[in-house]
Structures are given as C-alpha cells and as structure tokens.
C-alpha cells in the first residue's frame, strides 16, 4: 500500500491565484481530514470527511473548499490564495473516527507571495 499520498510537495503561489492540493489513500479509509501546521501552533483542522459525499468544516475553514467524490480522494482547493495561507498542509485518514490510528501524508509546503 502507498498509504496517504499528497501532491505537490512544494508550491509557490501569488496572491489571488487558486490551486488544488491533492490527497489520496489506498487503505479504504472512510475518514479523511486536512490540517495546516504553522510555527508555534498545533495542527489545526481545516475540513474533514466521514465518507464519500460527506464533508464538514473544521476549525479554520475560511478560504478553502473540499469535496469527496470517491473514498480514495480528498482534494483541498484554495479559492484565492492569501499570504496568511502560507503553511504546511497535511492530509490524514483513518479507518474510523479519531479514536482510530491516524495515517498522515508527507505534507505540502505552500508559500503565498
């Protein structure tokens, strides 16, 4: 199994540009989440999904959209990038809810200039 994969690993955007961060898992996990990690702060939940077709907002959802059309894929869209979205983004999946082991992707380092 490849586990949780994320692309790209690095990305530089200009303010106002849009882009999609890709996340895929091959473990047939129902639960998937997107987090951002900023210096001096813990990981913060952006959006999550409990299965195909079901998504919900996390702690810091503004400026991001998600969709879950398949069990495997959970892309994160930045609608109009802002410097405040400069961060490292992690996708995670688990078999069940958060009382199950979490599997994290390798992360995407995004810089918005």
Partner 1 sequence: KNEVEQSPQNLTAQEGEFITINCSYSVGISALHWLQQHPGGGIVSLFMLSSGKKKHGRLIATINIQEKHSSLHITASHPRDSAVYICAVIEGPHPVMIGGSNYKLTFGKGTLLTVNP
Site residues, partner 1 (CB under 8 A): 40-45, 48, 50, 54, 56, 58-59, 88, 90, 92, 96-104, 106-107, 109
Q: Is the Cβ of residue 63 or residue 107 nearer to partner 1 in the bound state? A: 107
Q: Is the Cβ of residue 56 or residue 80 nearer to partner 1 in the bound state? A: 56
> Would you state the structure tokens that stand for residue 17, as one six-digit string?
């540009």
Residue 6 is inside which H or E element, if any? strand 4-7
Q: Is the Cβ of residue 15 or residue 111 nearer to partner 1 in the bound state? A: 111
CB of 28 to partner 1, least distance (A): 18
Supply the DSSP symbol for 98.
Answer: T
CB of 3 to partner 1, least distance (A): 10
Per-residue burial over 13-33, b if 16 or more Cβ lie within 10 Å, else e, is beeeeeeebebbbeeebbbbb
């Amino acid at each position: 199994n490849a586990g949780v994969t994320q692309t790209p690993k690095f990305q530089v955007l200009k303010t106002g540009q849009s882009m999609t961060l890709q996340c895929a898992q091959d473990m047939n996990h129902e639960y998937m989440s997107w987090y951002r990690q900023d210096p001096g702060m813990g990981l913060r939940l952006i959006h999550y999904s409990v299965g195909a077709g079901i998504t919900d907002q996390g702690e810091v959802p503004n400026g991001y959209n998600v969709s879950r059309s398949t069990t495997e894929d959970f892309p994160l869209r930045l609608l109009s990038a802002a410097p405040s979205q400069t961060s490292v983004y992690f996708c995670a999946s688990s078999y069940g809810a958060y009382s199950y082991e979490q599997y994290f992707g390798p992360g995407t380092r995004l810089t918005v200039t």
